[in-house]
Amino acid sequence: MASSNSGSNRTLIPEAKAGLSRLKTEVASEIGLGNYESVDKGNLSSRQNGSVGGFMVKHMIESYEQGLK
């Protein structure tokens, strides 16, 4: 049976949307993509867009691990 991937890009906790948006902007700025919110994401490479998501996950994991200590 084929699995469906629809809806995988939605925020599961709506209250977290603003925080995730701030994190995305912060991470994009850290990797040299200033004004990320106003940039047409279609004009960025997959590598650039993927880097933002990857670094967001890295930051979230680091934050979680710090909370465990």
Supply the pTM of this predicted model.
0.71
pLDDT band at 61 (very low <50, low <70, confident <90, very high): very high
DSSP 64: H
- 50-to-7, 33, 53, 54, 69 alpha-carbon distances in Å: 18, 12, 5, 6, 29
CA nearest to 52, candidates 67, 34, 66: 34
pLDDT, one tens digit per residue, over 4-59 is 556 567 888 889 899 999 999 999 999 888 888 898 989 989 999 899 999 999 99
**pLDDT score recorded for residue 28:** 92
**pLDDT score recorded for residue 4:** 58
Is the pLDDT at 63 greater than 60? The verdict is yes
Helices 46-68 and 17-30 pack at an angle, to 10 degrees, of 110
